[in-house]
Structure 1
Amino acid sequence: MSALSYIQAPAPAGASASASRPAVLVVSAHAADFVWRAGGAIALYAERGYDVKVACLSFGERGESARMWRQPGMTIERVKAARHEEAQQAADILGATLECFDLGDYPLRVTDAALLRLADLYRALRPEVVLSHSREDIYNFDHPLATHVAQEARVIAQAHGYKPEVPVIGAPPVFLFEPHQPEQCNWKPDVLLDISSVWEKKQRAFATMAAQEHLWAYYTRVALQRGAQATRNSDRQVTYGEGYARVFPQVSESLA
């Protein structure tokens, strides 16, 4: 991702510190978040040979599973199992691997052990790109916590004094994907990503999220809106898009 206002596709896979494949890390608060907000980016990078890892901090078993809780005799274990299955199916469709931390939901609480587990994942994966939530979300406090943890773990993974026997990571750029109500979360996109070529995959992925079927049409409209904005801000015709906000300055040899 290198352009400031529009991106058609990820940059070609380059050299990576891990001798295998270049990688992308997605830190998702809940089981469905990565699908609605970053499913297109995940599918694009996976198609280009990247190792895309989704670190899912919670199954969203309380706040994002209302439909399941309306069923008689529902239990927390059954909800978790169902949301895990949905997330796994979606990750498989998009071409990502899924790692679930199961840190609870409403409230989500991140222990030091979980934080260091995520830092270790950075060290092992050595991502070239990191995706997570907006810094603010007045409707869901788990989301800004997830992005805080994603960036704190990134800093730990850069520290020479943390597990000095393991090489530190560099400075992968962090992109914050779109919250459900961006105007209320002080979020605006710096990057518009063209996901038209993988829209069918993203659509199939979010169709696995039966617990949140009411959001299918909403996120289709979001993708069409971002696609229209990408067309407006480029010389390309874009049908479906995703929006991202950068955390750190772009480092480049060119402004184009």
Structure 2
Amino acid sequence: MSNKQKTITVVSAHSADFIWRSGGAIALYHDLGYQVRVICLSFGERGESARLWKDGKTLEEIKAKRRAESEEAARILGAEIRFLDAGDYPLQITKELQDIVVNEFREHQPEIILTHSLEDPYNFDHKRTAEFVLECRVLAQAEGYPSEHGILGAPQVFSFEPHQPEQCDFKPNAFLDISSVFDRKRKAMECMNAQEHLWEYYSELAKRRGMQAGRNIGSAISLSGSKITYAEAYQRHFPTVGGTLV
């Protein structure tokens, strides 16, 4: 039996998306002993750094600041982070980028992949990322795709919650109890100084999702026996398989 550490991979269009939307999952899985890898396709330097542009920062200064903030957030959450600097607004998908992500999946063999929703009329980088991740998953499973690593299995892919879920046709079918790690998620969010307006938004969202999670198990108490206070919502892309339905 292999003693290789299990992995989950988070693919984030911009350098803060993974924090707002899956920071709790990252911290939780780190505490469960998983290797958590965050792949940031861009720094969000053009579309998500308005305060820094207003402060007169240059493009390279903005990239450097966003990178430093995201690295600190990843450290707090317990993730390894990789920046691909593909640019944003618009995000440009290239063959080189495809090869990098396919080989990332093959090398690390994630059990779970987290990424954006397939619809987002307010941010086409998010939509492109979701489509790109699903395509890379399929390519990583193909025997004929050139790679030094073995083929990928069939990891479940979960979309994390978009900023405006109703407009993105986001219908959560999985709630993750993050009560035990929410303080770390909040601390990680506070690393992103250019988007301070989102700190409270995502804190309040986690509270609402925590209440909904409790309702969906018929109790405010999680399976671990503790009270569900905070949760993250996800939408799975593929069926679950097992010998029972529960």
Which residue in 1 is equivalent to 2:177? 194
In 2, the alpha carbon distance for the partners of 1:100 and 1:164 equals 21
Which residue in 2 is equivalent to 1:12? none
What is the aligned-residue RMSD (CA, Å)? 1.1
Which residue in 2 is equivalent to 1:39? 23
Identity %: 52
Secondary structure of the structure 2 residue equivalent to 1:253: coil
Cα deviations by residue, 1:185-230 (Å, 9 ceiling, x for unpaired): 0001000110000001101000101010000010011000000000
In 2, the alpha carbon distance for the partners of 1:36 and 1:198 equals 13
Query: 5 Å matches for 1:86-165?
Result: 86-163=69-146
Cα deviations by residue, 1:127-174 (Å, 9 ceiling, x for unpaired): 000000000001000001111111111111100011365311110000
- When normalised by structure 1's length, the TM-score is 0.91
Secondary structure of the structure 2 residue equivalent to 1:238: coil
Cα deviations by residue, 1:75-130 (Å, 9 ceiling, x for unpaired): 10000000001110000000000000000011110111111100000011100000
Secondary structure of the structure 1 residue equivalent to 2:45: coil
Cα deviations by residue, 1:54-89 (Å, 9 ceiling, x for unpaired): 0000100011000111113x2100000000011100
Asked if structure 1 preserves the Cα contact closer than 8 Å seen for 2:70 and 2:192, the reply is: yes
Cα deviations by residue, 1:225-253 (Å, 9 ceiling, x for unpaired): 00000011113231000000010011122
In 1, the alpha carbon distance for the partners of 2:244 and 2:31 equals 26
In 2, the alpha carbon distance for the partners of 1:252 and 1:226 equals 27
Query: 5 Å matches for 1:176-215?
Result: 176-215=159-198
Asked if structure 1 preserves the Cα contact closer than 8 Å seen for 2:103 and 2:149, the reply is: no
Superposed displacement of residue 255, structure 1:
1.7
Query: 5 Å matches for 1:63-82?
Result: 63-72=47-56, 74-82=57-65
Look up the equivalent residue of 2:46 and give its one-letter code. R
Which residue in 2 is equivalent to 1:26? 10
Q: Give ranges in structure 2 of 5+ residues lacking alignment.
A: 222-226
Secondary structure of the structure 1 residue equivalent to 2:151: coil
In 1, the alpha carbon distance for the partners of 2:31 and 2:43 equals 26
- When normalised by structure 2's length, the TM-score is 0.95
Indicate how the Cα distance of structure 1 residues 111 and 165 shifts in structure 2: closer, same or farther if over 3 A, else same: closer
Runs of 4 or more consecutive aligned structure 1 residues displaced over 3 Å after TM superposition: none
Report how many aligned residue pairs link the two structures: 239
Look up the equivalent residue of 2:42 and give its one-letter code. S
Look up the equivalent residue of 1:82 and give its one-letter code. K
Q: Report which stretch shifted further, 164-173 or 147-156.
A: 164-173
In 2, the alpha carbon distance for the partners of 1:164 and 1:56 equals 21
Aligned: 1:255 with 2:242: no
Cα deviations by residue, 1:9-37 (Å, 9 ceiling, x for unpaired): xxxxxx76xx5200001000000000000
